[in-house]
Structure 1
Amino acid sequence: MSFTMQFFLFCSLPIILSILLLKSCFSSSNAHKNLPPSPPKLPLIGNLHQLGSSPHRALQAMAQTYGPLMLIHLGTVPILVASSVNTAKEIMKTHDITFASRPHLNIPSRLFYTCKDIAFSQYGEYWRQVKSIAILHLLSNKRVQSYQQVRVDEMERMMNVIETSNGSVINLSELLITLTNNVVCRVALGRTYEGMKFKRLLERVMELLGCFSVGSYIPSLRWVDRVSGLERKADEVAKEFDEFLEGVIDEHESKNGVSVEGRDLVDVLLEIQRDHAKGFRLERDMIKAIVMDLFTAGTDTTFTSLEWAICELIRHPSAMKELQQEASKIGKGRSMIPEEDLDKMHYLKAVLKEALRLHIPLPLLVPRESTDDVKLLSYDIPSGTQVLINAWKIARDPSNWEEPGEFRPERFLNSTIDYKGLHFELLPFGAGRRGCPGIQFAVNVNELVLANLVYKFTLTPAGKETLDVSETNGISVHKKYPILVSATPCC
C-alpha cells in the first residue's frame, strides 16, 4: 500500500468512524420505535417506482398487503399513508392539530407566493388568520348566498347555448368548464375574463401542481427540476398569473366606490387590507395567493365533480330517469328550478354524493405533515412525517360500502353520511382544520346546474368516449375524454 493511500486512510478514519457512529445511533433509536409496516424500498428513490401513473390505485393495492396504515418513502421522505375510516379519523380528528400542517413543496411554493395561500400554508398563526378571513368574509353561507344571481346567470347562459344547438353534437365538458370559470371570475374578480388564454393559464397551474418535483422528495437531486425545465415552467406561469392579478388589483383600487351588494372577493380582501386595526396586515402577495386558491380549487374541483356526475347519469339511464322525474315534479313546468327548491330534491343530492364517492377530485387530498412525535394506533410516528389520506380507497372500501364499484345513488337516500367532514367514509373535501372551506360554494353550483340540465334536456351520448370512465393523471382526476352529447328539450 502506498504512503499516500495510508495517509489518506489515516486522515479519513475519524470521519468514517463518526459517520458509522451516527448511523448506529440513528438505527438504534429507530429500532426502539414501533413504526408502521413498510414495503421494501430502493436506495435514494424509496418506493417511487411503485406508484406508477395512478398513485391512489397503487397505494390501494399496497394497502392490501401492508394494512390501512403504512409507511412508504418517496425519495428520502417518509410518507404515512392512511387507507381506512379509522386511520383517517385518527389523523383528521383525534390528532388533528398534530397533523394540521403542510410540507414544504417546491412547485406550490413557486406558484402561491411561497405558500401564502390557505391550502398550502403551514399550520400556525398566519394560516389561522387567512383561514378565518376565508370563513368569515369570503366563503360564509351568507356570502355564498349573496352570489345566487351570478350562478343563475351563468347557468341560464349555458342552457341557452345548449338550446340553440338544435340537437347537434355539443362538447358539454367545455361548456361546464366555461360555466365554472365564469362563476368564479365574477364572484372573485367582479367580471368574466373570456378567451382561451385565461383558461389555459388555469390549466397550466393545475398541470404543474400535478407534476412530480424531484427536489421536494430527493433534496440532493433538486438540480433535476432545473435541468428538466420544471422550475422554469412554474416560474413562467407564476409570473404570468402575477401580472394578471396585479392588473385586477389595480383595477379594483381605482374604483370610486362599490356598494356592499356589488362587492366581489377582491373588494373584500382590499377592504380587510385597509382595515388592519386588529394587528394582522394583509399584504398584496397574500391577497394574490388567496385569490389563486379560489381559482384553482373553485374552478377545477367544481367542474370535475359536475362532469363525473353527468357522465355517470348518462351511463345509467335508470338513474337519469329517476332524477328527471324528481326535477319535473319540483320544477312544475316553470322555466327553471330555483335554488330555494333544491333542498326538496333528495335524489339530486344522492346523485352528487355518489359521484363524489366514486370520483373524488383529489384522491389523496392535499398532503399533511406531523409537527410532533405522536402515537397513532400503537405506532410511533416521528415529527416531520408527511401524510397522505387515500380518500379514494376509503370511498371504495367494501367494508364501508355495498358493491362499492357500482354507481348507486339510492345508497344515500336513507343514509346520514355526508361529505362535510363529519363522516370519514366519504372525504372528497377532507376533514378537520384543513378541510376545504369552500364546500358550500361548490355544492351550490353543482346542484343548480345539474338539476336544471336534466330538467330541461334529454342528453344522448355521441360516441363511446362519452361513456368512458378513464381518468387523467395529475393532482386532480379528470375524465380523460370530454362529454359529447346531443341535447333535446324534455318538453
Structure 2
Amino acid sequence: MVSISDYGDFYKMAKRNIMLAILGFNAQKHFCDTRERMVSNVLSSLHKLVAVDPHSPLNFREVYTTELFGLSLIQNLGEDVCSVYVEEFGREISKEEIFHVLVHEILSCVVEPDWRDYFPYLSWLPNKSFETIVSSTEFRRDAVMNALIKRQKERIARGEARISYIDFLLEAKNSTQLTDHQLMLLLAESIAAAVDTVLEWLYREIREVCGGKAVTEEDLPRLPYLDAVLHETLRLHSPVPVLPTRFVHDDTTLAGYDVPAGTQVMINVFGCHMDEEAWESPGEWSPERFLGEGFKLADRYKTLAFGAGRRTCAGSQQAVSIACVAIARFVQELQWTLREGDGDKEDTMQYTALKLHPLHVHLKPRGS
C-alpha cells in the first residue's frame, strides 16, 4: 500500500508509520543486531553445507532467502514464525508455506498479465482466468495474514509487547484510524517487500580496513569499493526492472511530452540503466564507474533501483545495509566460484528480477 498509494494523506501516514516502526534511523539501530545475526546464520548454514559436501555447488538463493524472510518476520511480527494454524485451510502451515503464500504467490500475481490493460476500450469485458487468480491469491494471503495477526494480538494481550511493526500499528490504530483490512495489507506488504578479480579486490579492501574483524555496518563508510560493487550490481541487475505504475491526476508536460490526466505512467528502470547516453558500455559490469575521478556523487541517483524523490523506497537504507554487510562477510569468510555455465544465465522480468534459474556456487572457506 505504501508503494502504490497516491501521494496523499494516507500515503504520508503509512510511510511515516513504517519509518518510525522499522525502517527509520532509530528503528534501524534497534534491529542492527538482528540483521547481523541473519548474516551470521547464512554463513553458518553455508559453512555446514560445505563441510558436508565441499564439491557440490550450492543454491545460494535458497539459503539466503530463508534467513532474509526470518528477518522480515521478526521486524514485522516480533518473532521468526516457524508455523501458524490457518483456520480457512483447516491445518497448520510451515514457515516455507507462509513464504510461498505471502511472497511468491503475491509477486507472481502482480506480474500476471491482464490483456484489458493493453486495450482499455475493452475493459468492460470480463477476464475470468485473471480474476480467479487474483481472487484466489487474495483469499490465501488474507487467511494467512489474519492467522499471523491473531497470534500476535494474543501475544500482546498477554503483556508480551515487543518492538515490531504490528505492535506499533496496533498501538497507533486508534489515532491513525486504520481499519483492520488496511492494517493487514500494510503488514503483508512489509513482509513481502531481497569475477574472481572483483572478489579479490573487495577482499583486499576488507582486509585493509577491518583486518580479521568481522565487517559491521559501522565499517561501511570506509569501504568504497564495496559500495561501488553494490551500486553497479543494482544498475546492471535492478531488483525492480519497472517501477510501480503512477497515475497522473493533472495534465502535465514531461520532457517535452504532453501527459493528460488519467494516464498511467511506468518507468522502465532497465531501459534507463542500459541507456548508452547515460552510461559508458552499459552492458558491462564495471564497479569502477562508481569510483575515481570520473565518478560524481550524482551518478548514484542515475540508478533507480529504489526509485527517487518523494516516492523513493522506504526500505532503501535497510536494503543497502543488509546487502553490503552480507556481501562483505561472505567474501571475508568464503571463496566463491560459479558453477560452470551459470554465469550466462538470464534474469527474469517479474515484479522483482530474479535469475530464471538460481545460481549455484562452489564455496571454499578462506584459509582452508
The alignment's TM-score, normalised by the length of structure 2, stands at 0.87
1:435-465, CA deviations, whole angstroms, 9 ceiling, x for partnerless residues?
A: 2111101111101111000000001223323
CA contact (8 A) 1:252 1:267 kept: no
Query: How far does the alpha carbon of each residue in 1:102-158 deviate from its partner, in whole angstroms, 9 at most, with x for none?
Result: xxxxxxxxxxxxxxx211222322222212222334321111121011011111111
Report the CA distance between 1:328 and its aligned residue. 2.0
Q: 1:136 to 1:228 in 2, by over 3 A?
A: closer
Instruction: Please list, as runs of the form range in 1=range in 2, the aligned pairs for 1:37-436 lying within 5 A after superposition.
Output: 117-165=1-49, 166=51, 167-169=54-56, 170-194=58-82, 195-201=95-101, 202-216=103-117, 218=120, 220=123, 222-226=125-129, 229-258=132-161, 262-274=162-174, 276=175, 280-297=176-193, 302=194, 316-334=195-213, 336-414=214-292, 415-417=295-297, 423=301, 425-436=302-313
| Cα-to-partner distance string for 1:34-90 (whole Å, 9 max, x where unaligned) | xxxxxxxxxxxxxxxxxxxxxxxxxxxxxxxxxxxxxxxxxxxxxxxxxxxxxxxxx
Q: Is the 8 A contact 1:211 1:474 kept in 2?
A: no
Q: Does the CA-based 8 Å contact 2:18-2:165 persist in structure 1?
A: no
The equivalent residue for 1:99 is none
Q: Give me the whole-angstrom Cα distance separating, in 2, the residues matched to 1:135 and 1:487.
A: 37
The alpha-carbon distance between structure 1 residues 370 and 220, as it changes in their structure 2 partners (threshold 3 A), is closer
- In the TM superposition, residue 344 of structure 1 has moved relative to its aligned partner by 1.0
Separation (CA, whole Å) in 2 of partners of 1:268 and 1:239:
20
- Structure 1 137/232 Cα, relative in aligned 2: closer, same or farther at 3 Å? closer
Rg larger for: 1
Match of 1:485 in 2: 361
Query: Aligned in 2, Cα 1:419/1:172: closer, same or farther, shift over 3 Å?
Result: farther
Distance in 2 (CA, whole Å) between partners of 1:176 and 1:419 is: 29
Q: Which runs of 5+ in 2 are unaligned?
A: 83-94
Letter in structure 2 aligned against 1:331: C
CA, structure 1 residues 447+213, in 2 after alignment: closer, same or farther (shift >3 Å)? same
Amino acid corresponding to residue 441 of structure 1 in structure 2: Q
How far did residue 244 of structure 1 move? Answer: 3.3
C-alpha change, 1:264 and 1:419, in structure 2 (3 Å) is: farther
Question: In structure 1, how many angstroms separate the alpha carbons of the residues matched to 2:164 and 2:41?
Answer: 20
Question: Could you tell me how far apart the structure 2 residues matched to 1:385 and 1:325 are?
Answer: 50
Further displaced range: 280-289 or 425-434: 280-289
- Which consecutive unaligned segments of at least 5 residues does structure 1 have? 1-116, 303-315
Instruction: Say if 2:290 and 2:299, in contact at 8 Å, map to a contact too.
Output: no
Q: What is residue 74 of structure 1 aligned with on the other side? A: none
Are the aligned partners of 2:21 and 2:164 in contact in 1 as well (CA < 8 Å)? Answer: no
Farther-moved stretch of structure 1 (243-252 vs 322-331): 243-252
| Distance of 1:371 and 1:323 partners within structure 2 | 47
Per the TM alignment, residue 252 of structure 1 is displaced from its structure 2 partner at its CA by: 4.1
Secondary structure, aligned partner of 1:389: coil
Seq. identity, %: 25
Q: Over aligned residues, Cα RMSD in angstroms?
A: 2.1
The count of aligned residue pairs is 346
Cα 1:269–1:418 change in 2 (3 A) is farther
Measured after TM superposition, the shift of residue 193 of structure 1 is: 2.7
Judging changes above 3 Å, is the alpha-carbon distance between structure 1 residues 252 and 290 closer, same or farther for their aligned structure 2 residues? farther
User: Contact between 1:365 and 1:388, CA under 8 Å: does it hold in 2?
Assistant: yes
TM-score, reference length from structure 1: 0.66
CA distance in structure 2 between the partners assigned to 1:412 and 1:460 by the alignment: 24
8 Å CA contact 2:248, 2:260 repeated in 1: yes
Deviates more, 1:324-333 or 1:353-362: 324-333
For residues 471 and 269 of structure 1, the distance between their equivalents in structure 2, rounded to whole angstroms, comes to 36
2:108, 2:266 → 1: CA distance? Answer: 20
C-alpha distance in 2 between matches for 1:264 and 1:239: 20
Q: Deviations over 1:371-420 (max 9, x none)?
A: 00113334322101111111211112111111111110011013234687
CA distance in 2, matches of 1:378, 1:327: 47
- The separation in 2 between residues aligned to 1:244 and 1:150, in whole angstroms, is 24
Classify the secondary structure of the residue corresponding to 1:460: strand
CA gap of 1:461–1:381, structure 2 versus 1, over 3 A, is closer
